[in-house]
Amino acid sequence: MYDNLLYQSSASLLCDDIANDRLPGSILLSGPDATGKLTAALETSRILSCKGNPRGKWTCTCPSCLQHKALINSNTALLGPRDCSLEISACKKTFLNAAINHAHEEAARYLFVRSVRKLTMRFNPVLWQDSDKLSKISKYISVIDELLEEIDPPRELPDFNELSTICDKLEKEALALEDDLMYNSISIAQIRNVSSWAHVSLAEGKKVVIIEKAERMLEGVRNALLKILEEPPENTVFILTTAKRSSVMPTILSRVRTYNFNSRTEAQSHDIIDRVYHENFTGTIEQYLQNFLPVSPKDIYQVADGFYSQVINGHIPDLNEIIKNCSKFDPRLLFRLFLESIYQMQEPALKFAAGAKASSLCTTALRNTWNNVTIYNQSILAALENLTKEIALINKTNDNALREAYGKL
């Protein structure tokens, strides 16, 4: 079990609980980003439906496992926001390299197919019933599904030129779907729809509902989920994931068993990147994936530095130019890196008494800016306008502490 979940002690805990029939109906996978939480959730869903002996081996060829490995099993629902674009691009590169070299080709095929379906599963019609976006979603999904059929296991792959064209089209359509329709937080309608789906009984096996980034749910959504967890459907397992357990509603935490995921060491990350992407890369998995960003993290830092320097020195930055230079902050990860860069720049203010208050206020402003964009759908331009005013005011009312700290960088 959990053959593809590396360097996480939670894998053995999950194995023991499943093997001894102790896995509860609701669990929370908690830990930093890129630590394997979604991998564990999808694997749990596969293992719970596996008919093989021994149960749960990744190499199992029972019909259920084959469907789960390709992420087409209808007994799994996946919802929640996620930036899928970098993973899709990285997996496409790995797959095409494998097709050229005829090494690890089947594993790389699954890797790419699954990266696309980790996106499309979030747009399952079950979750979007009665939504005015369903027609638009269907157009994207129809094209993507047709392209995936050309490379889905165990179908024989076309020649490399045709395969490359198919993969390029898949990447383009998937990224367009994410850019156009990826939501920033789960809606009450999605929770209600998945609840109705979960209450439909199965002849055998279990349904699994995976909810990513549980900390991003608004209050009404959290309350709707809580009602389901209080009276869970029979033969349904709920798997929540979060990078911020402290932000999950306490009443939800009281109804789930938490499995903790830890950041991996540099050596462990290097091994995973080598095994999965067949690249010799030194750094974290997140850093590797950032190589596929349209703007490098270094360039983002430089733009953020220019923005922050202007604001704390009393100047008004050209926000439209900043957005343009940062590829319109698409994917959204670019905006997170931009805000994290500003956080690093103001952090020295913590080192002296006059700056501590300013740093605390600035940190709150940065957090609110991110939440306003990712949860409340505020435009990037409006968010930056507000952030400019807030940082300028914080600096001015705290005796230019941010400017003084910046000079000590």
Q: Where are the domains of the chain?
A: 10-262, 263-292, 294-406
Task: List b or e across 376-408, with b for residues whose CB sees 16 or more CB atoms inside 10 angstroms.
Answer: eebebeebbeebbebbbebbeebebbbbbbbee
Q: What is the pLDDT of residue 152?
A: 93
Return the sign of the alpha-carbon dihedral for residues 188, 67, 153, 288.
positive
Return the pLDDT at 184: 83
Residue 407 confidence (pLDDT): 76
**How does DSSP classify residue 71?**
T
Count of CB atoms within 10 A of residue 92's CB? Answer: 22
Distance, CA of 40 to CA of 187 (rounded, Å): 24
In this prediction, residue 229 carries a pLDDT of 92
User: What pLDDT does residue 202 have?
Assistant: 82
CA-CA distance, 26 to 243, in Å (whole number)? 17
Confidence at residue 409, expressed as pLDDT on a 0 to 100 scale: 57
CA dihedral 363, 366, 370, 376 (to 10 degrees): 100
Whether the CB-CB separation of 170 and 147 falls below 8 Å is answered with yes
From residue 353, how far is each of 312, 350, 356, 391 by CA, in Å?
18, 7, 5, 18
Q: Give the mean pLDDT per block of 10 residues along the chain (409 residues).
A: 92 94 95 95 95 88 93 95 94 96 92 97 94 95 97 94 97 94 90 93 86 91 93 92 93 95 95 96 94 95 96 96 95 92 94 90 95 87 97 95 83
* In this structure, CATH architecture of domain 10-262: 3-Layer(aba) Sandwich (3.40)
Tell me: cis bond preceding 154? Omega within 30 of 0 counts.
Answer: yes
- Give me the residues paired with residue 242 across strands: 30
Q: Give the pLDDT of residue 183.
A: 87
Can you give the pLDDT at residue 132? 92
What are the structure tokens assigned to 304, written together?
A: 């953020």
User: From the DSSP assignment, how many helices (H) and strands (E) are in the chain?
Assistant: 18, 5
pLDDT confidence of residue 271: 96
